[in-house]
A and B are shown apart, each in its own frame.
Chain A
Amino acid sequence: MAELARARRFRPGPRLVSALVGGAAAILVLYPIAFLIQASLSVGDPQARPPEAYGLDNFADLPRYGHIFANTVSVAVAATVMAVVVGFVMGWILSRTNVPGRGALEQLMALPYYVTPLMGALAWSLIGSPSGGFLNQVWRALGGRDHLIDVTTPYGIAWVMALFEGSVAFVMIGAVMKSMDPALEEASQVLGAGRLRTMLRITLPLVLPGVLGAAIFVFAEMLGSFSAALVLGLPSRFYVVTTAMYQLVSQYPPQFPRAAAMGVSLFGVMFAMVYVYRRVVQAGSYATITGKAFRARAMDVAGLRWPLLGVCLAYLGVAVVLPVVTLLYASVQRLATAFPRAGNFTLANYETALSLDAVRAALWNSLLLGLGTASIGVLLMGFLAWMIYRSRLPGVGVIEYVLMFPQAVPRLVFAFGMLWAWLIFPIPIYGTLWLLLIAYLTVFLPLGLRTIAGVMLQIDRSLEESAQMCGASWGYRMRTVTMPLLRPGLVAAWLLLFIASVRELGASILLMGPKAKVITPTIVESWFSTSTELTAAMALLQTLAVSLALVLLFKVARRATQPAGE
């Protein structure tokens, strides 16, 4: 009994572990960025490593590529406008009106994000390329001239990007609309203001910072987006910064320093955007986030309910149903055409896809990498999240800042830095899956951290403190209290990391070696070098794998969160 009052002596020294892990993660992020900057300043022989001489010539050269920067900005602006309109309209319908099937629709709004811009681009290319697009075939069959739509134009590319970024904008804007206390609007109405006046004077100013924040965030993402511009723009030689970089690096001889200068410029702009985004969100959050629990009030829109439902379904139709159905339709044809013809249907594309060693190996590698990234990532990011948001150790603010860097760097640009950095690394991991594993772990740090932090910040600190007051050591507390409570967040992060890794393109396309291919770049290669039908089949096989993981996500997450909620 006497030993009861005394606590156990063992302590694993979280301070030292934190310093080591935090430092290692920061190096993972900063090492490639340092090499990216070094490469951009190299003015000697472009192939020489380390650089023979340093200077700003590469940056001085950039005005030559002015049209590429102009392309990037116009595509990004168009896509942002469309995505924010989609996000605002959908956010308003689904969080502020009594549209039928609200709950189900809200769940379905996540789907466009999982369809991925690459699949969307492949599908929309099949639908709307000027000569062979299905829609244009139908248009000509009906007596139309030339083509109805052309998705290989900047606006076409922006349209495809916006369809998928729309669901991201929806999540951000919807959250702002939901977090607004309805009492603020009710107070205005009680004081005699009409519905329109309330909307203009109260609702709009309150959600405006949130909408602005979403717009900036989406714009930054669009500046760095890669796959839609690659699939739709490359054939017609329409380049944005990321595809131009890819071209400069993959051509012979490669123009590393020039590509690096482009990457650094893009990084700088996006970094500034993300900074502004944070400022806007911080400045605007006071108005709507009360932290008090309330039920979001749904406005009765009476007769408008069905038209609004139509709007929601139309969006899901063009962003999810149409692309998937199109790919499915193309994948079961010998020669993809808009009009069904008996004898043209076949399952040969699936047979081919599954029998090609390269495809099988790539899919296997991707699943393996997904498994590795998700498992290692959850451990690493779970610990980092605890360290940043819970440990109150000195210096964690700086670590958090550094770890969020990859959010402001397009994955392709980041991979470029890694390419440069790891080529000279003494352990030969270049061209192996190990390099991809490191790359994924680095570029998905913000994704994993944010997911886990979202759950962690909801766990009251006193739950851990009370374990401490019961005499539990750090390790014991982690095992019995922190980890079990974090489980829903860890499960969600695991699946998100898995899905994101399996379908990753921007980093993989630069870093994968000829003997260690992964699936998404293989699909893109197939698109440019073999048949569209086979590519469609491959894309759907990949989606099937991702979907299975998604089903798992909803099942496990629901089971994991239920006992925790009151």
Chain B
Amino acid sequence: MADPLAPERRASIEVRDLVVRYGAVTAVRGVSFHVAAGEHVTLLGPSGCGKTTTLRAIAGLEQPESGEIRIDGKPVFSSTPRVRVPPEQRGLSMVFQSYAIWPHMTVFDNVAYGLRVRKLPPAEVAERVGRALGLVQMSELAARSAAKLSGGQQQRVALARAFVFGPAVLLFDEPLSNLDAKLRAEMRLEIKELQRALGITSVYVTHDLEEALAISDRIVVMRDGVIEQTGPPAEIYDLPRNAFVADFVGSANLIEGRPRPELAGPGLVALETPGGAIVHGTAYGRRVGPRACFSVRTVHVRLSRERPAGPVNVWPATVRRRVFQGDFTQYHVDWDGRTLVVRGVTVDPVDESQTVYLSVEPRHCVLLEDQSSG
């Protein structure tokens, strides 16, 4: 059933208590996660969060200070007992942010490199390279000098070169960040399809939320060298654990307040904001602390000229600013002594300074985890 380029075996990856230091700076401080065989996991976070360092540590290009990395159950790095398997012996492969296409070789030679390293017979090299270039739609350019490729073409060659020799694990270091937006969206889909077709275990690093949501089986959100949240894309998006994840993964309004359990309806949590508004939300099994906070996605807040039906979470508010953004329109709304950001469809826009009704369903007001108890 599998493609001939699919790996012999799909390795799992286990990262435990990883610490990486550059001189005085600790880039990664105790990161642990697991990637199942054939799974596609994305490390997501702002620049400097340690995601690329983590990836390079898995590759063996960065020497961690402590912790353990296992590929297919076998340790490739470990501080105690001391294990350091050099990158070229870890049986994985990588697509670099800069593509790292060798300018002194042709497209064919670039892709064939990993096969020639493994001393495959020329006939098999040609066959596999041809198939790999076909998968990335670069067959016609095989004989071209790699120095004469556009950014998108280099990206495809880098991809073909990375999977052609059937590595057990494929690592991606922000592979799309140097492409323009349209090409990026296109390549995103291709990478996803390729990964599915070959079933290679993949770790993907990006700071681009859409990319992470679109292609991952699971997302690991990182900040300042630690993991903030791990889960499938929908879970990360729908149930952010804390304010950082809520804000970084999509756009969200954070509404803080004092719990008012006596006002809460069945199965709901009620908070009283500093401005006095009562907001009903959902706990999703999380504990309500003394100061609690809801995350409300900007797309989940509704604006309407007529008062909508519903017992809770309906307030009058004033549109202060309207920003036309094409696919959607963003409103900045004065409510409860602060500003809420609301994204709505562009048809029938509400005018600035107009008083409208603001409403949100309690299931979309997601209680964040209680930070006070640690």
Contacts and interface: CB of A to CB of B under 8 A. Distances in A.
A476 interface: yes
Contact of B103 (A8, A462, A468, A563): A563
Given A4-B165, A460-B98, A563-B145, A473 B104 contact: no
A11 B86 contact: yes
Contact of B61 (A11, A468, A485): A468
Nearest to A460: B98
A470 B98 contact: no
Given A5-B166, A471-B88, A462 B100 contact: yes
Interface extent on B, as a size class? 35 or more
A104 interface: no
A565 interface: yes
A473 B117 CA distance: 8
B299 to A, nearest CB: 37
Nearest to B162: A469
Given A2-B8, A5-B168, A472-B88, A563 B147 contact: yes
Given A4-B118, A5-B91, A465-B96, A470 B102 contact: no
A469 B118 contact: no
Interface string B88-111: 111111101110101110000000
Contacts, number: 97
A237 B13 CA distance: 78
Contacts of A357: none
B245 to A, nearest CB: 30
B38 interface: no
Interface in A520-566: 563-566
Interface string A1-35: 11111111101000000000000000000000000
B147 A468 contact: no
Which of B60, B93, B103, B171 gathers the greatest number of chain A CB atoms within 10 Å? B103
B113 A565 contact: no
A7 B89 contact: yes
B84 interface: no
Given A5-B7, A7-B88, A563-B147, A471 B118 contact: yes
Contacts of B89: 6-7, 9, 471
A462 B166 CA distance: 21
A481 interface: yes
Interface residues of A, number: 31
A463 interface: yes
A285 B114 CA distance: 40
A1 B145 contact: no
Contacts of A460: 98, 100
A484 interface: yes
Given A7-B88, A563-B145, A472 B100 contact: no
A280 interface: no
B161 interface: yes
B103 A564 contact: yes
Interface in B1-37: 7-9
Contact of A3 (B87, B92, B102, B118): B118
A480 interface: yes
A293 to B, nearest CB: 14
Contacts of A5: 7-9, 91, 166-168
B59 interface: yes
Interface string B142-179: 00010100000000001001100111100100000000
A480 B117 CA distance: 10
Contacts of B103: 485, 563-564
A485 B104 contact: yes
A470 B100 CA distance: 12
Interface in B109-155: 113-114, 117-118, 120, 145, 147
Interface centre among B91, B117, B158, B167 (most CB of A within 10 A): B117
A6 B120 CA distance: 13
B61 A465 contact: yes
A471 B117 contact: yes
B166 A4 contact: yes
A6 B86 CA distance: 12
Nearest to B87: A468
Interface in A24-65: none
A13 to B, nearest CB: 11
Interface of A: 1-9, 11, 460, 462-463, 465-473, 476, 480-481, 484-485, 563-566
Given A465-B100, A466-B94, A471-B118, 9 more contacts: A460-B100, A469-B88, A469-B162, A470-B161, A470-B165, A471-B91, A563-B145, A564-B104, A565-B147
14 contacts: A5-B7, A6-B89, A7-B117, A8-B118, A462-B98, A463-B102, A466-B102, A468-B60, A469-B92, A470-B114, A471-B89, A563-B145, A564-B103, A565-B147
Interface of B: 7-9, 59-61, 86-94, 96-98, 100, 102-104, 113-114, 117-118, 120, 145, 147, 158, 161-162, 165-168, 171
3 closest A-B pairs by beta carbon, nearest first, are A470-B114, A462-B100, A466-B100
